[in-house]
């Protein structure tokens, strides 16, 4: 496993966004999506007096990043957990408040690059897609057992796939002949099911279906809905959160949580807004920051990335 192939997305922007909160000795930063440890390694290097807590649901990612971060010794604490478990993890570590939180959402390079994980539509592999292979249902089980209506909902909601009904009709027809087990058969089916016009735009026609299956298998949006508010709550005043999203569903969810935190909760028309109705967050980006053209040219996986950040400016109202 070469760590050189793993290029952290928008690394400088993430570090710059978190920097003001991590300057003090003893600051704690949480990398909620450790992956191969590129962002974590950079955080520990740039902020030599900071302590890192890093989470990942993928045991293989934890093993590999553990080797990478070993030189930092006790400054790095790696935890096998899904990121919505953040409050419980911090509770066990005796860290009620932290100074920085980073999310790099989506699939890690390792999961995409290892064919047998079944995330990539460009190579044939078992249809697994579980980020934690010790638990949960695989993508093959979803395809073979979910009712047609539920599959249509998943493809529309999570893949924003306009041709969901066509694709699901073909899936249901084919699974009755033989259950799905590999990605190549699914890719071929999607190609055959789509009208010519739909195949001419937006890259590989299987992309949206694979995204939808991955989100369903790993409960990604449900987990994110719990995780972002929990991470905001864990921030000390002056603490900062940075979130990298890779599709509009994730980005919309992050935007909504941040916007709600940055808004006053007072009824309209009050001449003076009481302290407990004041915003809890200050937004650090106008809209979402995008990767530079240079970065996208060097690392095509950065192309869809959207970065948003916020600073905690007030405690929650009691």
Domain of residue 157, residue span: 115-218
Do 23 and 143 lie in one domain? The reply is no
99 in Cβ contact with 26 (< 8 Å): no
Do 175 and 200 lie in one domain? The reply is yes
**Average pLDDT for the chain:** 89
Is 256 a known ligand-binding residue? no
Give the per-residue pLDDT at 261.
95
Q: Specify which residues 240 forms β-bridges with.
A: 100, 311
Do 191 and 246 lie in one domain? The reply is no
Provide the pLDDT confidence category of residue 57 given band limits of 50, 70 and 90.
confident
CATH number of the CATH domain containing 189: 1.10.150.170
Say which residues have a Cβ less than 8 Å from residue 157's Cβ, sequence separation at least 6: 212, 249
Do 224 and 106 lie in one domain? The reply is yes
Do 237 and 92 lie in one domain? The reply is yes
Do 37 and 105 lie in one domain? The reply is yes
The predicted model gives 187-191 an average pLDDT of 91
Domain boundary residue among 218, 245, 274?
218
Residue 296, CB-side half-sphere exposure with 13 Å CA sphere: 8
Q: Flag the least confident range among 28-42, 123-137, 211-225, 284-298.
A: 123-137
Q: Is residue 317 part of a domain?
A: no
Provide the pLDDT confidence category of residue 194 given band limits of 50, 70 and 90.
confident
DSSP string, 188-251: HHHHHHS-HHHHSSSS-TTHHHHHHHHHHHHTHHHHHHHHHHHHHHHEEEEEEEEEEESSHHHH
Is 146 a known ligand-binding residue? no
Do 262 and 303 lie in one domain? The reply is yes
Q: Is residue 318 part of a domain?
A: no
Comparison of pLDDT for 20 and 269, the residue scoring more: 20
Domain boundary residue among 172, 197, 218?
218
Q: Is residue 170 part of a domain?
A: yes
pLDDT over 60 at 198, yes or no: yes
Is 149 a known ligand-binding residue? no
Give the per-residue pLDDT at 163.
93
Cα angle 240-223-86, degrees, rounded to a multiple of 5: 50
Is 38 a known ligand-binding residue? yes
Is 6 a known ligand-binding residue? no
Strands, E assignment, 87-188: 98-104
pLDDT digits (tens, 9 = 90+) for 163-180: 999 999 999 999 999 999
Do 242 and 277 lie in one domain? The reply is yes
Do 96 and 234 lie in one domain? The reply is yes
pLDDT digits (tens, 9 = 90+) for 31-42: 999 988 999 999
pLDDT over 70 at 3, yes or no: no
257 in Cβ contact with 232 (< 8 Å): yes
Contacts for 68-75: CB closer than 8 Å, 24+ residues apart = 68/3, 68/36, 68/37, 68/41, 69/37, 69/40, 69/41, 69/44, 72/44, 75/44, 75/50, 75/51
Q: Is 118 left (phi over 0), alpha (psi -120 to 50) or beta?
A: left
Do 127 and 100 lie in one domain? The reply is no
Contacts for 223-228: CB closer than 8 Å, 24+ residues apart = 223/82, 223/83, 223/84, 224/83, 224/84, 224/105, 224/250, 224/253, 224/254, 225/253, 226/84, 227/32, 227/83, 227/84, 227/86, 227/103, 228/103, 228/253, 228/254, 228/257
Comparison of pLDDT for 92 and 35, the residue scoring more: 92
Is 238 a known ligand-binding residue? no
Q: What SS3 state is found at 28? A: strand
State the total domains in the chain. Answer: 2
Do 40 and 163 lie in one domain? The reply is no
Is 83 a known ligand-binding residue? yes
**Residue length of the chain:** 318
Cα angle 232-282-289, degrees, rounded to a multiple of 5: 90
Do 96 and 120 lie in one domain? The reply is no
Say which residues have a Cβ less than 8 Å from residue 177's Cβ, sequence separation at least 6: none
CATH number of the CATH domain containing 297: 3.40.50.150
The predicted model gives 229-258 an average pLDDT of 95
pLDDT over 70 at 197, yes or no: no
234 in Cβ contact with 88 (< 8 Å): no
Q: Is residue 99 part of a domain?
A: yes
Strands, E assignment, the chain: 28-31, 51-56, 76-80, 98-104, 235-245, 281-283, 306-312
């Amino acid at each position: 496993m070469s760590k050189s192939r793993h290029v952290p997305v928008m690394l400088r922007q993430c570090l710059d966004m978190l920097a003001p909160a991590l300057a003090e000795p003893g600051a704690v930063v949480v990398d909620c999506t450790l992956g191969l440890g590129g962002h974590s390694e950079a955080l520990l290097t740039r902020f030599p007096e900071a302590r890192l807590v890093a989470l990942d649901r993928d045991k293989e990612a934890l093993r590999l990043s553990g080797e990478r971060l070993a030189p930092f010794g006790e400054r790095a604490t790696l935890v096998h957990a899904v990121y919505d478990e953040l409050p419980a993890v911090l509770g066990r570590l005796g860290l009620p408040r932290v100074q920085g939180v980073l999310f790099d959402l989506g699939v890690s390079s390792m999961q995409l690059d290892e064919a047998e994980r079944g995330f990539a539509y460009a190579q044939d592999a078992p249809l697994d897609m579980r980020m934690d292979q010790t638990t949960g249902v695989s993508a093959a089980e979803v395809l073979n057992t979910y009712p047609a209506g539920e599959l249509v909902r998943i493809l529309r909601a999570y893949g924003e796939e306009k041709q969901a009904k066509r694709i699901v009709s073909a899936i249901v027809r084919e699974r009755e002949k033989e259950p799905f087990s590999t990605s190549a058969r699914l890719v071929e089916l999607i190609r055959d099911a789509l009208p010519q016009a739909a195949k001419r735009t937006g890259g590989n026609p299987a992309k949206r279906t694979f995204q939808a299956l991955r989100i369903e298998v790993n409960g990604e949006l449900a987990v994110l809905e719990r995780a972002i508010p929990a991470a905001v709550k864990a921030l000390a005043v002056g603490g900062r959160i940075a979130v990298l999203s890779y599709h509009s569903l994730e980005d919309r969810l992050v935007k909504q949580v941040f916007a709600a935190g940055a808004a006053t909760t007072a009824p309209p028309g009050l001449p003076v807004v009481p302290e407990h109705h004041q915003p809890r967050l200050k937004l650090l980006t106008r809209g979402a920051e995008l990767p530079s053209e240079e970065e996208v040219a060097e690392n095509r996986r950065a192309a869809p990335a959207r970065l948003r950040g916020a600073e905690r400016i007030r405690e929650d109202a009691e």
